Structure formats: structure tokens, C-alpha cells
A and B are shown apart, each in its own frame.
Chain A
Amino acid sequence: MSNNPNSNLQDTNNNVIETSTNRTTGDSTNTTEENPTSTLGNINTSTLELSDITIHACSNCGEPAQYLCIACGQSGPRYCSSKCQSEDWTRRHSTVCSKVTLAGQINEEGGDEEIATVRKPNSKVHGRGNIAQIINKRKTNIQRGNPISPSSTTDPSFTGQEPLSTSQFDEDQVDEFKFYMQQIYKIIKPVVLCILLSVLWVKISILAPNFRPQRPTQQFIDTSDDTSESAQIFNSFLAAAVIIGNIIIVTIIIVCLFKYGFIKILIGFFMVVVLLLLGFMGYLLILTILQVLQIPMDYITLSFALWNFAAVGLISVFWKGPLLLQQTYLTIMSSLMAFSLTNLSSWTTWILLALLVIWDLVAVLCPFGPLRILVESSRNDKREIPALLYSVNAVWFMASPSLSNQFTSSSLNSVRQSLSSASSFQVTVGEEIPLSENIRYNHGEGGVSGESNENLSQIPRRQSSSLQPRSQPPNNDSFEEEEEEDERSGLKLGLGDFVFYSVLVAQAALFDWITTVACIVAVLTGLNTTIFLLAIYKKALPALPISIAFGMLFYFVARNTLVPYAQSLGLSLIAV
């Protein structure tokens, strides 16, 4: 976790705040998207990272910045001119800057050992800025002092195509890569967990006995129900289309509600939905499990347990709860939703997934996609989308994941905050990111901002919160807070994505273990690819298409060829 670039060094926070408050254009990525022309304002960077630099605003006046503090380097504040810098220095940067340099020196003395500790999850002090700094300095040293790097001797590819010309370039790249690696890793865990849960539910429900007795004595006339294959597919198509239609309609309703400010209606609605989902789907699942395992249980116990389960879920999701609990609940909810979707016929499921991919593409990438409109309006109004609610809604309505593009914990947190005080709504929901981006590009800004993807609205909150811990030496409590905050920010993946990944794998699990494994790998690879594409294109991308496409392809090929192939070789005990 410590390697999470979002974990800021306490000291640099001040800078962050200052810098951000002065920004005029708000969130950095928003700037990129809205004002592509502003990239032209950058001169001193290579084209590759134009977009990176554009977002920097002068710490003092908010104008586009071109200069850095030398001592702080990439992690430090930016200035539009030397005049601004000197002004800022006298006002506050002098105090901060010395600390930063001090920290940097310490780290350098620590050498490799320090870097190693950075990787350990508990060492929270070392923020992203510091690592970048250290690496930056090291690289510079190496390149200046000793141009023969160890790798370049043995490996031509290291020195080959892209010579490491400027230290800034390396730093950004390295930072971004590290950041994405960590984010993928963090996201893979709940995704895998959710998928595995769904597989477990499916495997259990396969056993859920068929309650229609099969009696040899009863040879009833088969009421001929053998509709043709094509008719079946048509029916499946129809069913899938109906579901997709629901998703679209709900999306539009939500967009309208949001646009006209009926946030409370949305929140109330979603609370009911969460309660129903946990209660009802939980009931169905528990019933299945009880049947399969033949556990005797009375309705009083069952309903008591379910009520508590759902109530705790509701409270922890909408109000307050340990992060772990929230994540657990959201994972369970996603897997429950996926489980409920396995009741559809397999053709319906495949068609539904295919249609979802299309809808996802349209909603996220098309200029008139409803989600885009939603984001635009949230951006214009400077109003935060109650994204968690969206997630939940998406789950309930089997909606496109694009509806629900918040990674669980952070969105929960934000909603909790937004619910806790209406007045601070805009202030506190800071960790949210706009809706339309399934996996949002989290821009690495060097050391400037650990949580660079935070919206403008977040900054005041940070300012206020930063006042307290910084005045005292960091103790364990603040470490924990920091840790949790780190976890609550970062790359976000919609609950809907969880659901539909799980639906795909659950459908595969209905057939065979090999298809299950193949689909899990395909989905995870698709997810990785999407995130890497995100890193390359720096643009909001829908999370479903690649994963689902891989998954479906792998499922059908594996089902038809790999399973018999593996069986044939497996029985001959031949390994290849």
C-alpha cells in the first residue's frame, strides 16, 4: 500500500493544497479533456507527455505553470514565472521546501534499504512524491556520473530504442507505471474474490435439487415444447433486449434526476434497493445452500439472521462502517447479483453480455452517451455524482457498469460523507471521480498531488483535515487514517463491472472447470489490458468490452475444443 502514489508525505500536503486551491480549471484530467488546446501552452516537454504537464497550475496565481522549484523537483510546486516563485517562497514555500529536501537527503542516505521499505505495505511515511524524487535523483546521478548502467551492459534493449534523456520523463513514466501496477493489483483482488464467490454460488446452485419428482411410473405425454433453435435464440435475444432496455431507461431517469438535483430521492431509492438485494437475493441463496447442504433451519432464525445481515449491510454501505466490511458487502452484493443473473438461459446471458459491451462503448465513448451528459452536467454544476448510489443502482437494474463506475470503497465513503452533512456535500465527496469513466485515468503528477484524480471540490476538505495531523508528529492513528484514505482513493472500477465479469465466469462455471479457469484468466487479462490502454491513452475507457470479448471467445473455444482435448490428454496422463 505504501507504494501507492496517493499516499502523500505529510509535509508535501501543504503544497498540494496550495497548488490545488489556486487552480482555476479544476481537476487536471478534466482540463485535458475539455481544453485540449491548453496543451499547446506547454513548451518544454516532449509530445509524449504533453498532457501531463498541461495540468500544472502555478502554485501562486493559478496560471499555467512552466517552472519548478529546483529543490523540490517534480514533487514540488510549479510556477508560471520566477516572480510568482519568489512571492510564494517568502509566503510559505521556504518552510516546506527545506523539509522536503531534508527528507530527500535522509532517503538518499538510506539508499536501497529505504527503497525496499517503501514496498512494504505498512510504511506509510514514504509517499509517492518521495519515491519519485529519490528515483529521480538516482537516475540523474547515474546518468551524469556513471553512464554505464548495469542493465545497459547486458541488455541492448535497455539502452536501445529510447534513451533516457530527461529525468522528468523517467520519473513520470515510472510513477505512472508503478501506480497502475499497484492499482491493477488492488483491483484484481476484489474482482477475483467476487468471481470466485459467484463460481461458488453457481456450483452450489447446480446441485440445488430439482423439485419436480422424476418418477419412472409416470410417463406423461410430453406437451411438445420443442421450439426450434432459431426461435429459442430469438427469445433469448428478446429477453436480453428487454434487460438492456431497462438499463437504458433507468440510466436516463437517473441522469434526469441528477440533472435536476433530486439527489435525496436517488439516495433513498438506492437504500431500498440495497436492502432488497441483500435481503431477497440473500434469502434465495441461503435457501439454496440450506437445501444443498441439508441444514435444517427454521424461518425465525433465518429471517432474524437475514434481517441483521441486510441491516448491517445497509448501515455500512450508506453510513459508516469499517472499510473491510464495506468492501465485503459490496463484493457479496456483486456476486449475489451475478448469481441471480445465472438464472437466465445461457443464450440470453451471452447475448446480454454482448449487448452490454456495445452499450458500454456507446455510453462511455459516444459524445451523446447519457453517461457523458451526466458527467458534463456534474462538471458544469461542480456537483458530485452520488456515485456509490449509481453503483448500487447499476447492480440492481443489471445496469451497464458504466453507470456504476466507482470502485466500491471510495464511493461508499463519499456517499457516507455526503449523507452525513448536506452542506458539506460538495466539500466532502472529494474522493469521487466522474461517473463516465469506468476506470479513470489517474494521472501521475509527480509529487505534486498524491491523489491527483481528486476533484476540485475535494480540496477544501483536505485543507481542513490536513490542519490537524500535521501539527503533531505522525502517530499510529494517523497512519491508519492515511492508509484507509489511500485505499479509498485510487483507481476505480464499477460494481457493475464486478457483476458482469462474475456473470461471465459464472456462466462458464456452469459448464466445466476448465472453461471457468480460462474465463477468469481472460477477464483478468482484459482488465489489465484496459488499464494499460488507459495509461497509454489517458482517457476514460469502458471496462467491459475487452474482458467480455476475451471471456466469450475463450469460453466458446474452450468449451468446444479445449475441454475434450484436456480430457483426452488427461486420461492418457500426457502433459504438454
Chain B
Amino acid sequence: MTLLTFFGCALTAFGPSLALFFLTIAKDAQLVILMISSAFFWLISILVASSIWFFSKSDATENPITILYSVLLQELFRWFLYKILRRAENGLVLASANPKSPYNVSAFAFASGLGFGLMNGLVTYINPLIISVGSGVIMCKSCPTLTLFFTGAITTCLFILLHTTWMILAFEGFRDPKRNYYYIIWVVLSHLGASYATMSNQADIKSGCVIGFVINTVLLVISIIASMRTLKKIK
């Protein structure tokens, strides 16, 4: 009967992002390949972060520091990804389904962001998700009515979408760092903010996880609006 939890959590965590993937990206070979490449970049960033974590022998009390360098490394690799994509941009745009569309670059950013996010979601959430098939649960510390699986599912869902929008915004910022520097600042700060907000999940705060969800949702909404604005600006 715990398959209920499994499917519930799987759909919560990955449903929205997979819907995005299958309805927008999956048809386009180019975007799928981009997605895999960006997933690869995210993986490198997290491997570096985890190596630092491993060799510094951090424990739970040092989580704030862990978050700091993990986030910064991700942003760094986002920038690397941008640099590499920019080199290939010419070819990519030409080879895209609609080479004259001005939104190709945004589409690349979207696909890369989804790749970043999905990989993030998979790596951080796949083990809890698989374990949720079993009957055993642990309750979330700050919200004793929710299981750790479900809280994690919501966080994962939000983070995948956040990563997607961050990528769009960051590409916009990287493209013209002098004029659009505030995009980069927003991406880094909101990423840090979102990560720190998740610390409330297991903190001794009453309904702490709700606080985390709300902060992340607000950040997500702002980011979506901002990225829509960038799209409109392109025109």
C-alpha cells in the first residue's frame, strides 16, 4: 500500500517538471541533448561540492557553509555552461528547428535549466523516493504531520522549477553583464535564499516547512515573472 506514497511523492516531485519536459522539450532532439549536457554540468558542480564536503568532514552543524559553497559552485558551473553554449551558439541556432526565431537562445536556456533542475532533483531526491516504496517513514521535524518523503517531494518540485527560471535569468545576465548584472545577482541571491529557506524543514520551528515552501514559492513566482519579462524584452 505504500506504493501510494511512492507514486504520490514521485508525481509531486517530478510531475510538473516532467510535464514541462514532455510537452516542450522531448520533441526536439537538440533541446534534449542540451538538457543532458546541462545535467552533466550540474553533476560536475555537485561532485566538486560533495568532494569539498567530504574532505572537510562537515557535519550537520556546518550546513550553512555547505549550502554556501554548493550554491556558488552551481552558479559557477552555470556560467561555464553558458560559456560553452555561447561558443556553440551559432551552430545550435542554425541547426534548431526554427533558426530565425529570436527565442532560440531562451529555449536553450530553458532546456539547460530543466536539465540542471531535473538532475538536482534526481540526485537529491532519488534515494528518499526509492525508500518511500517501503512502509517505513520518518516524519518531518518541523511539520510532524508530513513525512520526510512528502516534504522532500515538494521541495524538489519547487527547486526544479526554480532552476529552470534561474537558468533563463542567468543567461540573460551573462549575455550582457554590464546592463543586466542584476539578473545574475538575483539568481545567486535567490538560489542562496531558497537553499537557506529549506533549512527550516528540519529545524525546531513550528510549521517550519511551510515557511520554507512559502519562501520558495514566492521566489519561484518572482523568477517566473522576471523571466517572462526577459522573453518579452527580446522582442
Contacts and interface: CB of A to CB of B under 8 A. Distances in A.
A521 B36 contact: yes
A174 B33 CA distance: 16
Contacts of B89: 155, 157-158
A524 B165 CA distance: 25
A560 B120 CA distance: 18
A150 B128 CA distance: 46
A442 B234 CA distance: 36
B67 A576 contact: yes
B207 interface: no
B203 to A, nearest CB: 9
Q: Which of B90, B101, B201 has the most CB of A within 10 A?
A: B90
A525 B124 contact: no
Contacts of B102: 150-151, 154
Contacts of B205: none
Interface string B19-38: 00000000111101100110
Given A112-B98, A522-B40, A562-B50, A173 B91 contact: yes
B199 interface: yes
A569 B66 contact: yes
A219 to B, nearest CB: 32
B93 interface: yes
B98 A115 contact: yes
Contact of B128 (A524, A570, A574): A570
Contacts of B155: 573, 575
B18 to A, nearest CB: 15
A574 B67 contact: yes
Interface string A429-448: 00000000000000000000
A92 B148 CA distance: 73
B77 interface: no
Interface in A118-160: 119, 135, 138, 142, 149-151, 154-155, 157-158
Nearest to B30: A181
B71 to A, nearest CB: 6
Given A181-B29, A184-B33, A158 B93 contact: yes
Interface in B93-108: 93-95, 97-102, 104-105
B33 A521 contact: no
Interface stretch (A267-275, A419-427, A509-517): A509-517
Given A573-B151, A573-B155, A575-B155, A158 B54 contact: no
Interface string B178-206: 00000000000000001100110110000
B169 to A, nearest CB: 16
Contact of B127 (A150, A157, A174, A514): A514
B33 to A, nearest CB: 6
B32 A558 contact: no
B201 A188 contact: no
B86 interface: yes
A521 B39 contact: yes
B2 interface: no
Contacts of A512: 127
B180 to A, nearest CB: 12
A7 B67 CA distance: 51
B122 interface: yes
B32 A185 contact: yes
A574 B94 contact: no
Given A154-B234, A554-B47, A574-B63, A566 B54 contact: no
A475 interface: no
A575 B98 CA distance: 36
B126 A517 contact: yes
A184 B51 CA distance: 32
B126 A557 contact: no
A116 B158 CA distance: 33
Interface string A485-528: 00000000000000000000000000011100110011011001
A538 B151 CA distance: 50
Contacts of A524: 36, 40
A280 interface: no
A565 B49 contact: yes
Nearest to A517: B122
Interface in A529-576: 554, 557-558, 560-562, 564-576
Given A119-B27, A524-B36, A525-B37, A575 B94 contact: no
Interface of B: 27-30, 32-33, 36-37, 39-40, 43, 46-47, 49-51, 53-54, 58-60, 63, 66-67, 70-71, 74, 86, 89-95, 97-102, 104-105, 119-120, 122-128, 130, 140, 148, 151-152, 155-156, 158-159, 175, 194-195, 198-199, 201-202, 209, 234
A-B pairs with the 6 shortest C-beta distances? Answer: A177-B95, A185-B29, A573-B201, A565-B50, A561-B54, A525-B40
Interface of A: 3, 112, 115-116, 119, 135, 138, 142, 149-151, 154-155, 157-158, 161-162, 170, 173-174, 177-178, 181-182, 184-185, 188, 512-514, 517-518, 521-522, 524-525, 528, 554, 557-558, 560-562, 564-576
13 contacts: A149-B100, A170-B94, A174-B94, A184-B29, A188-B36, A513-B127, A521-B43, A562-B47, A562-B123, A568-B58, A568-B60, A570-B127, A574-B202
